[in-house]
Amino acid sequence: MSSFPKSEASVDSGPMHGVYKWADERLGLTDLAAFAAHKQVPQHKHSFWYYWGGISLLCFIVQLLTGVLLLVYYRPGKEAYESVRQITYDVDFGWLVRSAHSWSANIMVFAVFVHMFSVFFMKAYKKPREFGWWTGLGLLGIVMIFGFSGYLLPMDELSYFATKVGLQLPSTLPGMGAVVNNIVRGGPSVGENTVQRFFALHVVVLPLLFMPLLGLHLALVQKHGNALPPGEAARPASERRSVPFFPNFFAMDLAMWLIALNVITILATLFPWDLGQPANALASAPVGIHPEWYFMSQFQLLKGMGLVLPGMMGEIVGMGLFTVVLIFWALMPLFDSETVAGKRGRIATWTGYLVVTGMLGLTIWGYAAL
């Protein structure tokens, strides 16, 4: 606080000072600045992983902005493919907007996964941060549905068949067939009705669910601060180092945002997103059809189970296994709740290794088997 009179002196006489004072009295800007300067972020050899939540957030902002731009020309329903064709080939810089939206979506999924695993291995889900873990998993789930629903919107061959297969899987579960048919797909096969409702989901329902959950997630990060990894927490307080959130950590966060933005731009420019042939209900599925990489491990799990178990049993057992792991994963803060690392902590860590290895292995297997 002692540095404030000095910095205020520089704007003391200008008209900006009057405006600042007027706004400050009403918004409490000085308190906010003091709070941000007071807030400390731990500094240690694993600090790099703290940036991945921020990178996910940047991608979400890019998605919002490019998404609104795409909305200007996109038409769901019958004309879906034609409107995406126009965006890609007719509208000035339309290819860039669409490509940035697609690349940023993929990088966002990647960043969210990195963020989740770094939180997991830093044990940042422990008391009092359980709700941070749960809101984060909720956000991850919504991100996956964002990806799945957005993938259909261009209605080209690939998106058509990927959605067809993706919706067929849950239909194999008892009682789910009717739900998928009547509610999700809007008919016996993927078509105009599916695009129209996926569109409503993608641009209205999901953002409405995502944003308040994100607000809560960020508020919780704000409330509890960054968690210390166990190795760091074990050290005496005098040996730990930290930096002020503002300006030091903020500047680094901003630098990461710029790097991420540049990566998105370079990828979107050099590798513009492709648009395939229009979806055709009469055509056979193209050879080598496969889901997006972030669904590949789940897909391959089901495929692998199908190899050893007869009929639809493979899918059912695979989905059952996936559900059990997911529930254990979500409840990890309650299972691994000891403050001092013990047996449960080691089980949690090994579960993490198993899940990462399993996901990577299944993904590689999935691509190798194409």
Q: State yes or no: residue 4 binds another protein (CB under 8 A).
A: no
- Min dist CB 78 to another protein, Å, is 20
Within residues 246-265, the interface with another protein by CB under 8 A covers 247-248, 261
8 or 90: CB nearest another protein = 90
Q: State yes or no: residue 82 binds another protein (CB under 8 A).
A: no
Spatial CB neighbours of 247, under 8 Å, sequence gap ≥ 6: none
Decide: helix, strand or coil at residue 156.
strand
Q: Is 237 exposed, middle or buried (0-12, 13-18, 19+ CB in 10 A)?
A: exposed
Within residues 337-356, the interface with another protein by CB under 8 A covers none
One residue of 92, 178, 288, 368 binding another protein per CB under 8 A: 92
- Min dist CB 144 to another protein, Å, is 28
Number of residues that bind another protein (CB under 8 A): 15
Structure tokens at 136: 């984060």
From the list 85-93, 190-198, 341-349, 357-365, the region that binds another protein by CB under 8 A is 85-93
Within residues 18-57, the interface with another protein by CB under 8 A covers 43
Q: Is residue 288 within 8 Å of 119, Cβ to Cβ?
A: no
Q: State yes or no: residue 266 binds another protein (CB under 8 A).
A: no
> If we measure between CA atoms, which residue out of 122, 100, 106, 99 comes closest to residue 51?
122
Decide: helix, strand or coil at residue 242.
strand
- Min dist CB 40 to another protein, Å, is 11
40 or 337: CB nearest another protein = 40
State the binding string over 134-173 for another protein (x if CB under 8 A, else -). ----------------------------------------
- Min dist CB 92 to another protein, Å, is 4
- Min dist CB 6 to another protein, Å, is 9
Q: Is residue 63 within 8 Å of 111, Cβ to Cβ?
A: no
- Min dist CB 119 to another protein, Å, is 23
> If we measure between CA atoms, which residue out of 60, 89, 55, 53 comes closest to residue 73?
89
> How far is 143 from 206, CA to CA, in rounded Å?
9
One residue of 114, 145, 243, 325 binding another protein per CB under 8 A: 243
Q: State yes or no: residue 72 binds another protein (CB under 8 A).
A: yes
One residue of 96, 109, 152, 296 binding another protein per CB under 8 A: 96
Q: Is residue 39 within 8 Å of 244, Cβ to Cβ?
A: yes
> How far is 146 from 63, CA to CA, in rounded Å?
10
- Min dist CB 100 to another protein, Å, is 9
> How far is 14 from 220, CA to CA, in rounded Å?
38
Q: What angle do CA 150, 177, 109 make, to 5 degrees?
A: 25
> If we measure between CA atoms, which residue out of 281, 300, 282, 284 comes closest to residue 292?
300
From the list 11-19, 28-36, 243-251, 331-339, the region that binds another protein by CB under 8 A is 243-251
Q: Is residue 366 within 8 Å of 296, Cβ to Cβ?
A: yes
Q: Is residue 70 within 8 Å of 87, Cβ to Cβ?
A: yes
Structure tokens at 89: 């080939």
- Min dist CB 21 to another protein, Å, is 23
> How far is 297 from 369, CA to CA, in rounded Å?
12
One residue of 235, 241, 344, 346 binding another protein per CB under 8 A: 241
Q: State yes or no: residue 93 binds another protein (CB under 8 A).
A: yes
- Start-to-end CA span in the chain (Å): 62
From the list 94-102, 147-155, 184-192, 345-353, the region that binds another protein by CB under 8 A is 94-102
Q: State yes or no: residue 90 binds another protein (CB under 8 A).
A: yes
Q: State yes or no: residue 239 binds another protein (CB under 8 A).
A: no
Residues of this chain that interact with another protein (CB under 8 A) are 43, 69, 72, 90-94, 96-97, 241, 243, 247-248, 261
